[in-house]
């Protein structure tokens, strides 16, 4: 399905937010997620169903400095 | 101070404020520069490292002479900052921020500014700040990306509410690099939020997590929302980073260095005499001793008892060299 991830249209086959994070290779990384403007904590990613057109923001925390 | 929202009165408030900057690398030097020029009353700086030539590309307070002398970053920074604004009380603490000493470092501080280069120290700061009720101003930069957020105990979530993992996937400034503009930008955003917070301009605070990529022209603000009930710090009042003991052996990611702590403080003069016959060369300054080994690595002894084995990231190799020259 088509999802809008970090502002770009992406074609991904995923049932829930945890799968989206996995497909992007971010599982286990320091990532915060927002779905349609609402922050979703990592324990809830599995229960968070995704649907076509959903706006997902994945913020990968930066550790350098 | 001509900028009206701060003004004369704000300037007086700032003179009575105190900040702690942890890490005096790329972000930390920009932060310190802003805080000192803004006339914050007291600036305490903590860093465990010394100036090397590779730092000069992005660490704005240092020069070639500092690198040549191998001065601790906090000392080199203090020397420079004292010439910029002599009315600011500067405290340079040359050590590692650890679970054991962090409460002391936070004493009397209104705000903690993040200039660190790793998540382990950030979680330590986060946990200590949330236990002591001191706001924590996170900032990070790598490659062309950067982010920042102000975490205020009792008012906003904390770093642990947002992320659980500290795995940066090996992406550090020393492995994939960083371009200096993003460092200045992130640290300047941090500095602006610091001034707003310190002067009491609560209505102007940015209550989001800001993410920037200056190469790919991206800018995003994620609303912080509320603290999580399941967060160890905010919900359960447990502070995992404060409960663990600091590692005696620490491979510094991307740095080809292993830090060994746990030794009693070194008398550097005595150790200089002791090591000189056994190694290729020894360089001594009041804060540290650098010994070039015939094996190719370098040992750096710090007065506080830490040793840095440079030229390897292999902990076993570091232990071997440590045992050979320092003892066990
Ligand atoms: Zn929290």
User: What are the pLDDT digits (tens) for B267-277?
Assistant: 999 999 999 99
Say what the pLDDT of residue B58 is. 86
Q: For residues B95 and B167, which has the higher predicted lDDT (pLDDT)? A: B95
Say what the pLDDT of residue B252 is. 78
Nearest CA in chain B to A8: B218
pLDDT average, residue stretch B212-237: 94
Alpha-carbon distances of B147 from A29, B11, B94, rounded to whole Å: 16, 28, 27
Is the pLDDT assigned to residue B95 strictly greater than 90? yes
- CB atoms B142 and A39 under 8 Å: no
B221-226 long-range contacts, Cβ below 8 Å, gap at least 24?
B222/A32, B222/A34, B222/A39, B222/A57, B222/A59, B223/A34, B223/A37, B223/A39, B224/A39, B224/B149, B224/B156, B224/B157, B224/B162, B225/A38, B225/A39, B225/B157, B226/B157
A5-61 per-position pLDDT tens digit: 999 999 999 999 999 999 999 998 999 999 999 999 899 999 999 999 999 999 999
Is the pLDDT assigned to residue B170 strictly greater than 60? no
Distance CA B231, CA B162 (A): 9
Instruction: List, as ranges, residues 20-59 from A with C-beta within 8 Å of B.
Output: 28-32, 34, 37-39, 41-43, 57, 59
Say what the pLDDT of residue B251 is. 81
**Which residues of chain B make contact with A42, given a CB cutoff of 8 A?**
163-164
pLDDT average, residue stretch B301-313: 94
Say what the pLDDT of residue A46 is. 96
> What is B7-243's CATH number?
3.40.50.720
pTM: 0.93
The arrangement of strands across the sheet holding B288-292 comes to B249-252, B257-260, B307-310, B298-302, B288-292, B281-284
Note whether B7-243 and B249-325 share their fold: no
Q: Which pLDDT band, with edges at 50, 70 and 90, does B248 fall under?
A: confident
Does B171 reach chain A within 8 Å, measured CB to CB? yes
Pick the CATH number of B249-325 from 3.40.1350, 3.90.550, 3.30.310, 3.30.565: 3.30.310
Nearest CA in chain B to A6: B220
Distance CA B179, CA B230 (A): 37
Q: Which two tokens stand for residue B247?
A: 């590692």
Distance CA B298, CA B292 (A): 5
Angle at B54 between CA B50 and CA B55, to 5 degrees: 55
Distance of CA B189 to the CA centre of its chain: 17
**Which residues of chain B make contact with A32, given a CB cutoff of 8 A?**
162-163, 209, 222
Half-sphere exposure of B323 (CA within 13 A, CB side): 7
Interacting residues of A32 by C-beta distance below 8 A, sequence separation 6+: A39, A58, A59, A61, B162, B163, B209, B222
Q: Where are the domains of chain B?
A: 7-243, 249-325
Structural domains in chain A, sorted by start? 2-60 (3.10.20.30)
Distance CA B286, CA B269 (A): 9
Distance CA B200, CA B7 (A): 12
């Amino acid at each position: 399905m088509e999802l809008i991830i970090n502002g770009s249209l992406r074609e991904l086959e995923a049932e829930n937010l945890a799968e989206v994070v996995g497909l992007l290779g971010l599982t286990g990384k320091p990532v915060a997620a927002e779905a349609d403007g609402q922050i979703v904590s990592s324990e809830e990613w599995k229960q968070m169903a995704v649907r076509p057109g959903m706006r997902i923001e994945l913020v990968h925390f930066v550790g350098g400095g | 101070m001509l900028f009206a929202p701060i003004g004369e009165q704000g300037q007086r408030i700032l003179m009575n404020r105190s900040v702690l900057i942890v890490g005096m690398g790329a972000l930390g030097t920009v932060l310190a520069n802003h805080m000192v020029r803004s006339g914050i009353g007291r600036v305490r700086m903590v860093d465990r490292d010394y100036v090397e030539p590779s730092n000069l590309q992005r660490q704005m307070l240092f020069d070639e002479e500092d690198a040549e002398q191998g001065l601790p970053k906090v000392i080199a920074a203090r020397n420079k900052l004292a010439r910029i604004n002599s009315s600011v009380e500067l405290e340079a603490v040359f050590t590692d921020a650890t679970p054991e000493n962090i409460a002391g470092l936070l004493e009397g501080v209104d705000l903690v500014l993040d200039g660190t280069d790793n998540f382990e120290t950030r979680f330590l700061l986060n946990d200590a700040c949330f236990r002591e009720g001191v706001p924590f101003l996170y900032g990070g930069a790598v490659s062309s990306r950067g982010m920042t957020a102000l975490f205020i105990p009792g008012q906003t979530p904390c770093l642990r509410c947002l992320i659980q993992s500290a795995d940066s996937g090996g992406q550090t400034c020393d492995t994939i690099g960083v371009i200096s503009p993003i460092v200045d930008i992130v640290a300047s955003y941090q500095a602006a939020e610091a001034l707003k917070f310190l002067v009491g301009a609560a209505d102007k605070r940015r209550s989001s997590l800001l993410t920037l990529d200056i190469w790919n022209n991206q800018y995003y603000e994620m609303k912080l929302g509320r603290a999580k009930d399941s967060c160890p710090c905010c919900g359960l009042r447990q502070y995992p980073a404060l409960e663990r003991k600091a590692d005696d052996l620490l491979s510094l990611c991307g740095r080809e260095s292993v830090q060994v702590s746990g030794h009693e403080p070194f008398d550097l003069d005595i150790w200089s005499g002791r090591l000189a016959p056994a190694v290729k060369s020894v360089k001594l300054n009041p804060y540290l001793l650098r010994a070039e080994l015939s094996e190719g690595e370098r040992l750096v002894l710090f007065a506080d008892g830490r040793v840095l084995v440079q030229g390897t990231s292999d902990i076993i190799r570091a232990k071997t060299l440590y045992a050979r020259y320092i003892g066990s």
